[in-house]
Amino acid sequence: MATIDGSNDSTGSNDSTEPEGGPLARWTKSVIEDQEKRERLYRALFIVAAGFFLLTTLFPFYWLLVLALTPTSRILTGDWSLPIIGIEFPHPQGFNVYAFVEMFEQVPFHLFMFNSFVLAISTTVIVLAVATLAGYVFGRLDFPGRGVLMLVVLMISYFPPAAFLVPLFDAFLGNAVVVPFLGIELFESPRLVNTPASMVLPFSALFLPLAIFILTTFYSQIPDGLEDAARVEGTTRLGALVRVIMPLSAPGLATAAVLTFITVYNEYFFSSIMALENNPENWSPLLGGILSYQTQYTTEFNLMAAASIVGVLPIVIIVIVAQERIVSGLTAGGLKE
Amino acid sequence: MANLTLEHVTKRYEDVTAVDDMNLDIDDGEFICLVGPSGCGKSTTMETIAGLTKPTEGTISIGDRDVTTLPPKDRGVAMVFQNIALFPHMDVYENISFGLRLRDYDKEEIDRRVEHATDVVQLEGMLDRMPEEMSGGQRQRVAIARAIVREPDVFLMDEPLANLDAKLRVHMRTELQRLHKELDTTIIYVTHDQAEAMTMSDRIAVIDGGELQQIDPPLVCYNEPANLFVAGFIGSPSMNLLRGRLTANGAETDDFAIDLDVENVPGASAGDDVTIGIRPEDVYPTDTQGAISTPSDPIEVTTDVLEPMGDQIFVYLTFDETDAGAMRGDATGSDQLLMSVDPDRDIEEDESMEVVFDRTKVHLFDDASGDALVHGVEDLTSSGFETRVSETRSGEADE
């Protein structure tokens, strides 16, 4: 017994004095064994990853700010090398805050923003109203063909929006909708171009599947007993949906609403075509407004940058507010039975 | 407050019949327990009464009003759910007043009723708590308060105590009985716990396979079960059911015989297969048979397993010389006999002894239909008999 103990001791001391492997293996081993070292490594990795993410997301905004503050004449001709160090790096060439006023003087940018808000809000309302009913049906009722229908809804959401553009534009111009090859006239659409309807209708259709999917998931998680209780207490099915299921699915509703709102607010492709010119009267959105600073002969980069910053601010505010709501909804919901 | 009638209520799903031709006639102010094993259709029956599912056939009326097609909110029923189902986003006051607020009662009336309801279930001073901050028993009280605040015609309780721990369950059981006495409202109570059913209800409705087996006061269900299912389901531990047959001299199994005049057993004749039922407390060791005046012939048995319960000892007995019978391993026609004896009795495992049955407590069931033939065989040797199963009741049980 004594010899076995002795040999164990000697191997133990060998390990501590002469570690095996090269420096990397030794370091790896020490990280695995030493909790403090491990935590330091995790913190370092977190800082690197978060720093990289912040740099890549925030740098464009910094650049926008640089462009907005630099007068137009110096954007193309200015000396971008940093003082003293001499390396070329984007930094403000002057402090032309007046750009944020001038952008409203040259173009009625507030009207473009108003258009974007109207489009985004009406789309969000339509999408939430329809998706709530659809989500209730898909999430809480059992009927034959539910899976197939859900699949169809999801499939449609994967179609490229551009595929719908030409026929929709044709119809919204007021032309009759005709079955291809057969020539049978189905109906004649009113002329919707240059109206909010020409944008809200396709947006709603395009963003519905995602909202339906989100709400279906949330609504299906509400225990049946709660809905039954509400119905026995005196609500209809619809009443139970509004009074019990929707409040308990607040995080899901907020997610669907925020996603829809932001996507429509930022939308350019459909609206640039459905609004025939970049005029606020034609319901051209925010992006149409930004492009109006570009004329045939001049491009006012500083004003475009200033307008971009102003346009982004509402989204920043909404995200911050909604994020708080989502987090509080998640913690207060507590679906305990 | 109102009576409740179910006529020929049937609920069929695609491939199963959950409720099969259910007829119930429940009086105003009665406390009815629906009992049965899991999946027997008692909860579905409850849901059809509440209006959460529509019956495939049949009519439901509450207080002379046909409610079969009415939505739940217009039926005048309140329900307490097995999973309690408090609205997690509302505090206690909002939960209790939910139904009243929907019906646009004025604020003072709501406050008055909520106060009364919380008084009844002893929840004072908790109105601003959220459900997640409360214990299981408190939540259950809130659910009951939510039901009584609307002063419904009929209370439906779907296993309301199933999710509580054993001690709280016994406590809430007495609370519910007190509540029933106080409110005097019709209560339909679903449970699979036959102890709850026995202690609380005015009448027990035993359901199996979607069909009503028997509806009678608890002690009638216990003492005069309508058929084999009720006999096996009501009572804990359940009745000994021993498979045998009728002969010219009486009923006999492979192991013992009971004298009786077969002529006097209604609806049966010699040669029929029957099941002999005897409750554990009606089996006596021969040395204590002085306690009963109507013992059967002694039966030789050997004790097997003992289960001391404190207030009594359950003794599993095997019949002597029944190797062939033991091999049969039949579920109902068991070769085992359970007896309960006085806890002070000196008894050991593998002890040979003789036992007798109390003849007034021996039940005979027809094997073919499962229906009870007779309860108590003492007087069957002479002209009269103890309790013959009346024609009407066996007719009801058939339904």
| pLDDT tens, residue by residue, A244-283 | 999 888 888 888 888 899 899 988 888 888 988 888 888 9
Minimum CA–CA partner of B79 in chain A: A232
Query: 3-class DSSP state for residue B220?
Result: helix
The shortest C-alpha distance from B89 to chain A (Å) reads 6
B88:A248 CB<8 A: yes
**Per-residue model confidence as pLDDT tens for chain B (399 residues):** 578 999 999 998 888 888 988 899 999 989 999 998 888 888 889 999 999 988 999 999 998 889 998 999 888 899 998 888 899 889 999 999 999 999 989 999 999 999 988 888 888 888 888 988 888 888 888 998 999 898 888 989 988 888 778 888 888 888 888 888 888 889 999 988 888 888 888 999 999 988 899 999 999 999 999 999 999 888 888 899 888 888 887 888 888 888 888 877 887 778 888 888 999 988 888 887 667 778 888 888 888 888 998 888 999 988 865 444 444 444 444 578 899 988 888 888 888 888 888 888 889 898 888 888 888 877 665 444 444 454 444 444 443
CB pairs under 8 A between A and B: 75
The reported pLDDT for the residue numbered A17 is 53
| Model pLDDT, residue B289 | 64
d(CA B86, CA B144): 10
Encoded tokens for B50: 């509440």
- Which of B73, B132, B150 is closest, CB to CB, to A236? B73
Residue segments in chain A with a per-residue pLDDT below the cut of 70: 1-20, 325-337
Between strands B17-26 and B363-366, the pairing is unpaired
pLDDT at A163 (0 to 100):
85
- CA A264 to CA A144: how far, in whole Å? 34
pLDDT value at residue B94: 92
Q: What ipTM did this prediction achieve?
A: 0.77
Whether the CB-CB separation of B72 and A231 falls below 8 Å is answered with yes
Angle between helices A23-33 and A35-69 (to 10 degrees): 100
Residue A234 has its nearest CB partner, among B73, B88, B156, at: B73
On the CB side of B140, how many CA atoms lie within 13 Å of its CA?
21
Peptide bond into B237 cis (omega under 30): yes
| pLDDT at residue A326, rounded to an integer | 63
CA distance B263 to A169: 94
Partner residue opposite B77 with nearest CB, options A232, A239, A334: A232
Instruction: Tell me the residues of A at the B interface, defined by beta carbons under 8 Å apart.
Output: 223, 225-226, 228-236, 239, 244, 247-248, 332-337
Residue type, B381: T
Number of H helices, E strands in chain B: 10, 22
CA angle centred on B50, ends B80 and B4, rounded to 5°: 105
Q: Which chain B positions have a beta carbon within 8 Å of A228's beta carbon?
A: 47, 50, 52, 72, 79, 81, 85
**Beta-carbon separation of B85 and A234 below 8 A:** no
Alpha carbon of A303: minimum distance to chain B alpha carbons (Å): 48
| Interchain pair A332, B102: CB under 8 A | no
> What is the greatest pairwise CA distance in chain A?
102
pLDDT value, residue A332: 46
What does the pLDDT read at residue B2? Answer: 78
* pLDDT at residue number B265: 80
Measuring CA to CA, which residue among B286, B387, B293, B288 is closest to residue B344? B288
Mutate to test the interface with A, among B43, B44, B98, B114 (most CBs of A within 10 A): B98
CA angle A309, A314, A317 (to 5 degrees): 115
- What pLDDT does residue A328 have? 59
Residues B61, B13: contact at Cβ < 8 Å?
Answer: no
Inter-chain touch B102–A235, beta carbons under 8 Å: yes
Tokens for A273?
């075509």
DSSP A73-122: HHHHHS--BPTTT--B----SS--TTHHHHHHHHS-HHHHHHHHHHHHHH
Distance CA B248, CA B261 (A): 7
Token pair of B12, please? 């069929």
Q: What is the dihedral of CA B91, B93, B94, B98, to 10 degrees?
A: 140
Does the distance separating the beta carbons of B89 and A225 come in below 8 Å?
no
pLDDT digits (tens, 9 = 90+) for A4-62: 444 444 444 444 455 567 888 888 888 888 888 889 999 999 999 999 999 999 999 99
